[in-house]
Structures are given as structure tokens and as C-alpha cells.
Structure 1
Amino acid sequence: MNKPIRIVIADDNRELIEVLKSYLQSQDDMQLLGVAYHGNEALEVIYRELPDVLVLDIIMPHLDGIGVLEKLQFEKQRPRVIVLSAFGQEAIIQRIVSLGADYYMLKPFDLDTLGKRIRQLGDEPMYISSFGMSSPQSTIAQAVDMPAKSTVKNLEEEVTKVIYQMGVPAHVKGYQYLRDAIVSVIQEVSLIGAVTKELYPLIADKYQTTPTRAERAIRHAIELAWDRGNIDFINKFFGYSINTERGKPTSSEFIAMVAEKLRM
């Protein structure tokens, strides 16, 4: 029998980590060596355990996933890397690719697909070249674009349905602002990387207000959904239980997560 694939998970979402732990521990050909909740802790576990595969979140405190990849880039012995993220911005994906990640998976994701990617990487040994560690067939899992036939009206209807079901009150200004922000990000992914400079001014211009007021209204709408909304629907929509202890997501995180889920 082949040795199990040795895995480390790094993600600050404790609920998601518990889901991943349960899944990996149920797989006979996989061994979970440890978990980390921020980038610096991830590096400590990696250097100590020397895993075969690292499942890495991008948005983490202290040191983010890109920072972890930068630290690992020129190590003589490093794991294969599967990056998990709610962000599908092309510039971020390109940066992750340049730092040697093997797969890029958008949250929320299918656990069986993750397992398949881990097995593929476990079957492809790393080797050392003059440019650092690489593999014969490194592959980046790209984001799935929204079909071209989807119209703005269809998008607005779909986003409206989702945020209403989450519990965002339709009477607050932030309801319309949040809806339009999500639609805008679906149509132009790069906006999520320029929320303050481009997205909020775009919404403000449409509704003849200021970017600061647009941002506050969106934040208020998200807080209402998180505090008083339909948590069961939110859990179901994102594909796993949200971590209430972690606190509310930032406005940009929430917009990105909803947009990416609908784009898929």
C-alpha cells in the first residue's frame, strides 16, 4: 500500500477547517499533519512537518497566503500548494501562479474536487530546477466565467433574490448599493481589487451620493444580514457553516464571496 499523502491546512475560518479535517480524516490515502489559522503559524507547521500538500487560504491575519508563498518560493524542500480563495481577480491569480501554486480553487468549493486535486498532486513528485521547485505538470484551476448570455437584468434578478433570502432588508439604501456592487464585480472581477478607489465611487455616482456613504450603507446592510438574517440560507449558499466567532466578513469579502458563487 502506498504511503498516505501528508497534508497541512492553513485557513483562518475555523468552521471550514473543521469541515476539511473531517473530510481528510475520512480518506484512507490522506494524512492530516496539522492545521494553522494564520500565515506565520502555517510556516511553523510546514517547516516542522514537511507535508506533501499545503491547502492554503489567501486572506489570513498576520501573514496572508501570498506572504506564505513568497516565504516558500525558494525553499529547497516545499509542499505542493492548493490555494483556496473567495477572490477570482486575474492579477491575484497571476501572482499566485508566479509564486509556484499548483491549483487555485474558488470558495465555496466541492470537497470531492479538492480531494481529487490533492491526489493529483500527490502523484506528481516535485523536482529541483535552477528556478526552484517545480513539477512536470503544474496546473492552475481557473475561475469559471459567467456565461455571456447572462444579461444585466438576469444578474440583477439573481443577486436580488440571493441577498433578499439572506435577510438583507429591502427598505435600506444599502440593499440597492450591495446588489449593484455584486453585479458590478460579477461583470468586472478586477473591481474587487479596487473596492475603495473604483467600486464604491461607481455605486456613489449611480445613486448621487458619496463613496463614503455608499460604503457605510453597504456595511450596514451586510451587518443586518449577519445579525438578523437567515443563517441557514447563508450556510447553504456558501456550502459550509459560517464561523460566527470569526466575526462578520468585511464588505469586500462578502461582495467577493457572493459574486464568485454566482459566477460559478
Structure 2
Amino acid sequence: MNERIKIAIADDHALFRRGMVSLLQMNDDFEVILEASNGQELIDALETNLPDVILMDLQMPVLDGIRATEQIKNKHTEIKIIVISMHDEDQFVSHLMELGANGYLLKDADPDEVEKAIRVVATEDYYYGAFLLKVMHNRMLSKPVKKDAPRLSVKVDLSERELEVLKYICEGMSTPQIAEKIFLSPRTVEGHRNRIMEKTGTKNVAGMVAWAVRNGIC
């Protein structure tokens, strides 16, 4: 991305919010264009100023991060939302991803990971760090498997190259990173990703990764 990444921060703790602003402004390719102390304040601000990426807290007054994420995604599908929260319960994480969140980080995440997540979602739509992948594994393992439930065969449904791309996606690698890793163009990698979603019957990367976890690929 040649232009600066426009960022919004929604958090009711002014100290955390301003600390995050100071951290992000150290990067020449980041521009914090708005701050909000609650979800409603953020949504109102979006009427006149649209960011590329939102860093969203969950627990906020007036309108919390969960409802704010749902409303924003319904109206502005192009805006990427990274939830940054103290909650590490699987149910919170899974629900936010189902609502369309593009990433989920804990508030004690390393600053380098926050910066990486912003850059990745701005170009790749999603960011799966180690924490998020662990949550998805836990959710899949906790669901009882019916004896008569059909198992999808990745050997039949996916080519070796598609399977390779899927594994790297599960590791949180971006399209350019995968392209460099397996010596393909980014456009070719995108083509493989789209075909994987088509073959697995999934609608987004979150569903695709969940499918991979369920079938023992990740």
C-alpha cells in the first residue's frame, strides 16, 4: 500500500488510547485520523471520516465493541476491524470473527505484533496470530463429532499446491509472504485462495481456516 494507512482507535481508557496513538504515530505509513471513547462515538465519526483500519476495544460504555463491530460491518464492509481486548475467552473471539472482525489481539500483545496486524489486514483482509489460531483449534476440538458425520477429503478436494497455500494461510502468512515462499506471483496465490474457498464451501478466510482446523490441516 503506497498511501498511509488511516487508523481509528475506539477505547474508553484515555491512557491506553493515547499511548496507542503515540506508538502508531512513530510509523511513517500510519495515520491516526480519529479517536473514540465508545462505539457510538466511533460510528458517528464514520459519517464524515472513514479509516482503513479500526482498533476496537470490547468493553465500552454507550455502545460496546461487539455491537459496534456488527453495525460497522453491516454498513462499511471495506473497513477492517482489529479487536484489541483483555478477554481471552474463546467465545468472545469466535463471536467477533463471525461478525466479521479481521483480527483479534490481546491488550498485552507486543507492539510489533499490533503494527504487523494493521499492515496485514490493510492489504490481506485478515490477520491470524498464534493466539487466534489457538482459539480456533480449541473451538473445533471442543465440538463433539457425530459418528456418522462425513469427513471431507482434502486429498480429493484440494490439489497439492492448494493444500500448501492453505497451510501457510493457517500460519497467518500474507499473500506476498506465501508468494515469496513458494515462488509464485501474488495473483496466483490469490487464485488458489479463491479456489480453496469455492471447493470447501466457505465464504471467507475465517471459514476456510475453520474448515482446515476441522479437517486436521492446521
TM-score bracket, shorter-length normalisation? 0.5 to 0.7
Q: Residues of 2 paired with 1:78 and 1:47: CA distance? A: 14
Find the counterpart in structure 1 of residue 19 from structure 2.
Answer: 19
Compute the displacement of 1:76 (Å): 4.5
Tell me the equivalent position of 2:2: 2
Partners of 1:142 and 1:76 in 2: CA distance: 27
Instruction: Quote the residue 1:66 is aligned against.
Output: 66
Which of the residues 122, 126, 131 maps onto 1:143? 131
What is the Cα deviation at residue 55 of structure 1? 0.4
1:189-212, Cα deviation, whole Å (9 max, x unpaired):
xxxxxxxxxxxxxxxxxxxxxxxx
- Name the residue aligned to 2:98: 98
CA drift at 1:143: 3.0
Q: State the Cα distance separating 1:67 from its structure 2 match.
A: 0.7
d(CA) in 2 for partners of 1:42, 1:27? 23
Cross-structure match for 2:51: 51
Alignment coverage as a number of residue pairs: 133
Q: Which has the higher contact order (CA 8 A, sep 6+)?
A: 1
Structure 1: distance between partners of 2:59 and 2:128:
19
Partner-residue secondary structure (3-state), 1:88 = coil
Check whether the contact 1:58–1:65 (CA below 8 A) recurs between aligned residues. Answer: yes
Larger radius of gyration: 1
How do residues 138-217 of structure 1 correspond to structure 2 at under 5 angstroms?
138-141=126-129, 143=131
Contact 1:8 1:53 in 2 (8 A): yes
Corresponding residue for residue 81 of structure 1? 81
- Distance in 1 (alpha carbons) for counterparts of 2:60 and 2:76: 25
Structure 1 runs of 4+ aligned residues shifted over 6 Å read none
Q: Which residue of 1 aligns with 2:122?
A: 122
Report the counterpart of residue 40 of structure 2 in structure 1.
40
Once the two structures are TM-superposed, the CA of residue 47 in structure 1 deviates from its matched residue by 2.9
Q: Which moved more, 1:39-48 or 1:58-67?
A: 39-48
Identity %, equivalent residues? 32
How far has the Cα of 1:72 moved from its partner?
1.6
Q: Which runs of 5+ in 2 are unaligned?
A: 135-218
* Cα distance in 2 for residues equivalent to 1:47 and 1:140: 29
For residues 23 and 29 of structure 1, the distance between their equivalents in structure 2, rounded to whole angstroms, comes to 12
- Per the alignment, in what secondary structure is the counterpart of residue 41 of structure 2? helix
**How much has 1:142 moved relative to structure 2?**
5.4
Per-residue CA deviation, residues 80-130 of structure 1 (Å, 9 max, x unaligned), is 011011111111111101110011001222111101111112223xxxxxx
TM-score, with structure 2 as normaliser: 0.57
Cα RMSD of the aligned pairs, angstroms, is: 1.9
Return the offset for 1:77: 4.7
What SS does the aligned partner of 1:104 have?
Answer: strand
Contact 1:102 1:139 in 2 (8 A): yes
The aligned amino acid for 1:62 is V
- Check the 8 A contact 2:57/2:83 in 1, yes or no: yes
CA distance in 2, matches of 1:85, 1:79: 19
